[in-house]
């Protein structure tokens, strides 16, 4: 949680006379457009603010290993930010794999393109994952990874439904955080009056129930301080 405190430490406590969040400055309280403004304002500092410790990097690498990404996979990085997953995905997808990064923040996407545009296996798209996932991968997707992004999706059940439809037979959806739901939700609620203040990560139990209603077979659900890992598999048959 250290990097979260670092991330939002100077944007908390927004009552009169204190520093406003970028979105407060824009005068808008919620919704995807407002989240895009919020994350746009953080984009240039994002990599520094969210830098993981060596232990966290190792932990994230192990979680990505548990997703199981066969070479040649089509992977969607949903809410990709500046492309923090690049270094974990690039070695795993092989020469024929593809990664489609999607984010509502144009500045996050622009930075991802600047950093990783040289790698033709990666493509970066601005837009909401709910709206563009099918359009950018009409032939289906093998893995959808939401790393630190799921709480920000407006309609979480709708997203799960769209994701389940977009997965190929054998495809999997992973929702990953380096924090429990309580830890992540505490972090968001501390950023008062921002468009993410009420963005909530459901408990793994609630998420599991949601996913089961939507034709995703739950393969792993783990939640403890410092880790939230959900892996659901498509029930489609080839």
- State the residues that interact with ligand SAM by CB under 6 A: 32, 35, 39, 50, 79-81, 84, 102-105, 108, 128-130, 147-149, 152-153
Please give the Cα distance from 26 to 77 (Å, whole number): 28
Give the residue nearest to ligand SAM (CB). Answer: 81
What are the structure tokens assigned to 123, written together? 């493509």
Residue 10 token pair:
């100077």
Name the 3-class secondary structure at 197: coil
Cα distances (angstroms) measured from residue 61 to each of 26, 35, 107, 114: 37, 28, 26, 23
Q: How far is the CB of 16 from ligand SAM (least distance, A)?
A: 27
Of 99, 96, 94, 92, nearest to 69 by C-alpha is: 92
For residues 106 and 170, which CB has a smaller minimum distance to ligand SAM in the complex? 106
Which CB atom, from 20 or from 49, has the smaller least distance to ligand SAM? 49
> Residue 141: which H helix or E strand, with range?
strand 141-147
């Amino acid at each position: 949680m250290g990097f979260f405190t670092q991330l939002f430490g100077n944007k908390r406590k927004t009552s009169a006379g204190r520093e406003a969040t970028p979105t407060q400055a824009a005068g808008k309280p919620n919704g995807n457009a407002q989240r895009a403004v919020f994350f746009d304002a953080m984009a240039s500092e994002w990599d520094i603010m969210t830098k993981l410790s060596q232990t966290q990097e190792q932990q994230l690498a192990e979680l990505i290993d548990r997703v199981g990404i066969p070479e040649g996979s089509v992977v969607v990085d949903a809410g990709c930010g500046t492309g923090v997953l690049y270094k974990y995905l690039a070695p795993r997808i092989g020469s024929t794999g593809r990664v489609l990064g999607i984010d509502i923040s144009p500045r996050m996407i622009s930075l991802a393109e600047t950093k990783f545009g040289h790698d033709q296996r990666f493509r970066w798209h601005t837009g909401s994952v709910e709206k563009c996932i099918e359009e950018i991968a009409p032939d289906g997707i093998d893995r959808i990874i939401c790393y630190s992004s799921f709480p920000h999706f407006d309609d979480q059940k709708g997203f799960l439904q769209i994701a389940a439809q977009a997965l190929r037979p054998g495809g999997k959806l992973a929702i990953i955080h380096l924090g429990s739901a309580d830890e992540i939700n505490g972090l968001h609620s501390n950023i008062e009056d921002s468009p993410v203040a009420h963005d909530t990560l459901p408990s793994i139990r609630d998420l599991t129930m949601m996913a089961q209603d939507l034709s995703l077979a739950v393969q792993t659900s783990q939640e403890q301080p410092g880790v939230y890992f959900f892996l659901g598999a498509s029930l489609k048959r080839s």
